[in-house]
Amino acid sequence: MTDRPKSDPTIRVNHETQPEGKGLPRRDLLKMGAAGLGLAALGGCTPGSEETAGKPRLQRPDLGAAPDQPFAAPPIDLVRIGYVGVGGMGTAHVRNLLRIEGCEITAVCDIVPEHAERSATLIEEAGFARPALYTQGETDFERLCAEEELDLVYTATPWEWHVPVVLAAMENGKHAATEVPAAYTLDDCWAMVEAAERTQKHCIMMENCNYGRMEMLCFNLVKQGIMGEIVHGAGGYLHDLRGIKFADSGEGLWRRAHSMDRNGNLYPTHGLGPVANCMDINRGDAFATLVSMSSPSKGLQNWARDNYPEGHPKRQETYVCGDVNTSIIQTQLGRTIIVGHDCNLPRPYDRINLVQGTNGIFQGYPHRVYIEGMSEQSHSWDEASDWLEEYDHPLWKEMAEQSAGAGHGGMDFMEDYRLIKCLREGIPTDMNVYDAAAISAVTPLSEWSVANGGAPVDFPDFTRGKWKNYPPWELFGA
């Protein structure tokens, strides 16, 4: 097993093998793919760890005060990018970045040389110089971060590698951006915060759903005051991933392993990110407490039984993650948020995307709006698309055509565009390291709460009180 960076003190639980009779060892499953690091750093919020009986370590008093203002780095005229992990999602981001003015990808890293070569070909075909390729094993990103003259290191690797990559980037003087979730232990969340503050570098979680057209329509309605005072929200990731998790390629090589010894909300960011923006989390409000409960674990076992013959190794695997997890957050201002996770059962796709205020409500899937005194009929939903003409977010009004054809309805292009724009203009990024840490922290806190019978647990305050004065996320255009 590859060692974690020395700054990570969380390796306390041995997940190299499973007890006899539980099927394919997790070590062997992870070695099948790109997750050679395994799930070693489950930290102080995991069943079986030394802190399960008591509350997990929440604060880092050794860090002192957070900055008084959101971090903004000096402007960069041409953003030089090193990309780590160019499988499916990584390649989608590479394609987006090749269309965005003011940046170039000069280095690419992947453990599969063919993936790196594919990206190099895309870059050259777009008229840029061939990037340097780093394909010498799981930790070759460390060499990329140390040797290349870069402004930004962007990663779309399996979850285990997000924190090692962003820490290596910042320690070598580069800004860092990672796919979701940024981290899944509290110690790793704090490690990102500590490194970002000490090195004065951005560390950003790239939550594409924050930039969805309907999510940004809802955000615009909130910012315009149409919905009144916001009191409640709900979001989730409700997505049948059984086929993906059992695939012999891509995420099937590593994602299923997380359900073998983790029970909680393993993927909260897509549903929670947009709701958190509408509530100005870390910018006037903050997450305060969480409770979490999981249903029984049946879906993955049933899938393996129904799709593999007797004696197949996948029939022998054992899973502990409940099929449906429900977590409830209360904020410092008393608002409530329900965060759902449901990926192991048959169901249509849904992110919920509910924001409720004193004047009305927005709800997704299907997307609809009701505003008292403004909707066409009392107690009846309007189609959300009917509100786009007047309340479409300025970014979508200006960039819809340019984002056409990009992943997830164009939201992937929007998030990449905004990142490069903020770096080039030297302004605070839309999401920062405190957002990455706070939203990612839902996972380890949910695991602790589930393991302790749904007991409430406090959130760390990664801003150390500065959320009270940080300015809210405002409307912006292209």
Domain boundaries, the chain: 72-179, 210-395+433-468
pLDDT bin (cut points 50, 70, 90) of residue 161 is: very high
Three-state SS for the chain is CCCCCCCCCCCCCCCCCCCCCCCCCHHHHHHCCCCCCCCCCCHHHCCCCCCCCCCCCCCCHHHCCCCCCCCCCCCCCCEEEEEECCCHHHHHHHHHHCCCCCEEEEEEECCCHHHHHHHHHHHHHCCCCCCEEECCCCCHHHHHHHHCCCCEEEECCCHHHHHHHHHHHHHCCCEEEECCCCCCCHHHHHHHHHHHHHHCCCEEECCHHHHCHHHHHHHHHHHCCCCCCEEEEEEEEECCCHHHHCCCCHHHHCHHHHHHHCCCCCCCHHHHHHHHHHCCECCCECEEEEEEEECCCCHHHHHHHHHCCCCCHHHCCCCCCCCEEEEEEEECCCCEEEEEEECCCCCCCECCCEEEECCEEEECCCCEEEECCCCCCCCCCEEHHHHHHHHCCHHHHHHHHHHCCCCHHHHHHHHHHHHHHHHHHCCCCCCCHHHHHHHHCHHHHHHHHHHCCCCCEECCCCCCCHHHCCCCCCCCCC
Q: Which residues pair with 132 in a beta bridge?
A: 107
The region of weakest confidence among 37-46, 178-187, 262-271, 419-428 is 37-46
The region of weakest confidence among 15-19, 253-257, 326-330 is 15-19
Structure tokens at 315: 């029939």
Distance CA 472, CA 298 (A): 42
Preceding omega of 366 cis (within 30 degrees of 0): yes
pLDDT bin (cut points 50, 70, 90) of residue 478 is: confident
Query: Residue range 315-325: average pLDDT?
Result: 98
Taking the CA atoms of 374, 377, 379 and 380 in sequence, report the sign of the dihedral they define: negative
- pLDDT over 90, % of the chain: 86
Query: Residue range 294-309: average pLDDT?
Result: 98
Distance CA 100, CA 442 (A): 33
Query: Residue range 461-466: average pLDDT?
Result: 98
Q: Which backbone phi and psi does 401 adopt, to 5 degrees?
A: -65, -40
User: What one-letter code names the amino acid at 282?
Assistant: N
Q: How high does pLDDT run on average in the chain?
A: 90
pLDDT bin (cut points 50, 70, 90) of residue 44 is: very low
- What confidence score (pLDDT) does residue 54 get? 59
- What confidence score (pLDDT) does residue 2 get? 34
Distance CA 355, CA 221 (A): 10
Q: Is 170 exposed, middle or buried (0-12, 13-18, 19+ CB in 10 A)?
A: buried
Preceding omega of 346 cis (within 30 degrees of 0): no
Best CATH choice for the domain 210-395+433-468 from the list 3.30.360.10, 3.40.640.10, 3.30.70.2860, 3.30.420.40: 3.30.360.10
Query: Residue range 143-172: average pLDDT?
Result: 98
Q: Is the pLDDT of residue 98 over 90?
A: yes
Query: Residue range 320-330: average pLDDT?
Result: 98
CB atoms within 10 A of CB 313: 13
Q: Is the pLDDT of residue 164 over 90?
A: yes
pLDDT bin (cut points 50, 70, 90) of residue 303 is: very high
Give the pLDDT confidence of 102-120 residue by residue, as tens digits. Answer: 999 999 999 999 999 999 9
Query: Residue range 5-11: average pLDDT?
Result: 29
Give the pLDDT confidence of 419-448 residue by residue, as tens digits. Answer: 999 999 999 999 999 999 999 999 999 999
Distance CA 324, CA 127 (A): 47
**Is the separation of the CB atoms in 3 and 41 below 8 Å?**
no
Q: Is the pLDDT of residue 475 over 90?
A: no
Structure tokens at 159: 């979850």
- What confidence score (pLDDT) does residue 56 get? 77
- What confidence score (pLDDT) does residue 31 get? 39
Query: Residue range 403-414: average pLDDT?
Result: 92
Q: Which residues pair with 325 in a beta bridge?
A: 294, 341
Query: Residue range 448-464: average pLDDT?
Result: 97
To which residue do tokens 């639980």 refer? 13
Strand duo 324-331 + 287-294: pairing: antiparallel
Q: Is the pLDDT of residue 78 over 50?
A: yes
- What confidence score (pLDDT) does residue 25 get? 41
Q: Is the pLDDT of residue 196 over 60?
A: yes
Q: Is the pLDDT of residue 55 over 80?
A: no
The residue count for the chain: 478
**Is the separation of the CB atoms in 165 and 121 below 8 Å?**
no
**Is the separation of the CB atoms in 341 and 324 below 8 Å?**
yes
Best CATH choice for the domain 72-179 from the list 3.20.20.70, 3.40.50.720, 3.30.470.20, 3.40.640.10: 3.40.50.720
Q: Is the pLDDT of residue 21 over 70?
A: no
